[in-house]
Structure 1
Amino acid sequence: MDSTFPRTRKPQRGYNTAQVDEFLQVARRAYDGTPSPDDPPLNSERIRLTAFGLQKGGYVTADVDAALERLEDAFAAEERQVAARLHGDEVWLAEARATAQVVSNRLARVEGHRFDRVSPIALGYRVRDVDKFADKLTRYFRDGWPISIEDVRSVVFTTQRGGYRESQVDLVLDAVIDVMQAVR
């Protein structure tokens, strides 16, 4: 059987092939509605948070990441359809608006104080980089400026000592993606 994704050359590292293949099998069963009893529950958020180990000659990370993004979008669309059938579109959109408001409130904070900081000797996201991207997100929420889910997924921040706490910034970015998927 051929590989699911292209592989890196041997000295280069790529995603662990066994982990990726196993995850994709679980995802396929979950999407088809035929999960095995020992499969973990799977939804768009869990797909977004999935991480794989690295190995020499593994799968090319960019190709796997792109597939995971498409998979996440497919699960998000299915989740929205189910929620709309159960509760109606109004409830789904009200939840998205509430999340958008929480995110907007966070982004409206004073530059340099939008997120918690790590200690002065620890590395966190560079404050200036995060604040600059936060301004773009503010324009998206407030004025409807165009920004894509891909822009949010692919943003990279440099690090600095005493920077913003990475986990907190990442949670807000995840919430932004949730809102963007909800209003598609």
Structure 2
Amino acid sequence: MSTQQRFDRLGERAWGYDPAQVDDFLDRLAAVMRTTTTPPAPGAGDAEAAQRRRRLGSRQVRERVFDRVKGGYDPGAVDAHLDAVEDELFAREKAAFVAEHGTRRWEEHLELLAGLLLGRLNRPHGERFRRPSSHRTLGYAAADVDVLCDRLMDALRGEPEVDPRLVRTAVFRSAQGQRSYEEQQVDAFLDRAVEFVLAMRP
């Protein structure tokens, strides 16, 4: 594990990312970035997808969560760095996939992904995602999620290249019952949305 402090730490009483976890993950990522091969791109076959899950790739960077500790690394700085790494890894994965399977296969993957996203975005407000299993379970405020969905829809319709920060930086209030959406389903959708935005880049 690297002993070098990679990011500024917060004050002793402020909660930041666990430096040990961040450093370990970045050391593993650095090893991946030094290699000439990359995990199979999104849309790969079952065997390739299984291999992709076993190795670090753009999805693993996007989904990584760190514990919080007092005096830890500044989350904003860490997140910004990981976003840049994710962008580079995804570009590699896309290039590798197109080189192996061709542009048409990649376009087919984009069409499928777009259909999944639009199918969700086109639903009415308050009906885009399922509710938590229990009315006492906290979820994301449906109104906040719907606002983001509207912004994403407008961006996809009107801009040739959408900034992934629109999705990456989204923050939702907590809510319960009919005023909320299940967090896991929303998170899975946002993951696909970032993937699609990155895939649309030239």
TM-score after normalising by structure 1:
0.90
CA contact (8 A) 2:161 2:197 kept: no
**Which among 26, 29, 37 is matched to residue 27 of structure 1?**
29
Shift of 1:143: 4.2
Mark the CA change 1:145 to 1:132 in structure 2 (over 3 Å): closer, same or farther. Answer: farther
Counterpart residue type for residue 176 of structure 1 = A
Structure 2 letter corresponding to 1:9 = G
Q: What is the aligned partner in structure 1 of residue 190 from structure 2?
A: 173
Map Cα deviations across residues 158-180 of structure 1 (whole Å, 9 max, x no partner).
Answer: 11112100110111111111111
Q: Deviations over 1:31-69 (max 9, x none)?
A: 21289xxxx610101100101112222111110111111
Tell me what 1:109 maps to: 123
Shift of 1:11: 1.8
**1:129-168 maps to which residues of 2 (within 5 A)?**
129-144=144-159, 147-162=162-177, 163-168=180-185
1:34, 1:92 → 2: CA distance?
21
- 1:27-176, aligned counterparts within 5 Å? 27-33=29-35, 41-118=55-132, 119-144=134-159, 147-162=162-177, 163-176=180-193
Aligned partners of 1:63, 1:106: CA distance in 2, in Å?
A: 32
Runs of 4+, deviation exceeding 3 Å: 141-147
1:2, 1:44 → 2: CA distance? Answer: 24
Moved more, 86-95 or 144-153: 144-153
Task: State how far apart, in whole Å, the 1-side matches of 2:16 and 2:73 are.
Answer: 5
1:75 is displaced (CA, Å) by 0.6
The Cα shift of 1:70 comes to 0.6
Check the 8 A contact 1:126/1:158 in 2, yes or no: yes
| Structure 2: gaps spanning 5 or more residues | 38-53
Identical-residue share of aligned pairs (%): 34
Question: Structure 2 length as normaliser, TM-score?
Answer: 0.83
Please give the secondary structure, in 2, of the residue aligned with 1:22. Answer: helix
Alignment partners' CA distance in 2, 1:143 and 1:60: 34
Distance in 2, matches of 1:34 and 1:111, equals 45
Cα distance in 2 for partners of 1:56, 1:132 equals 33
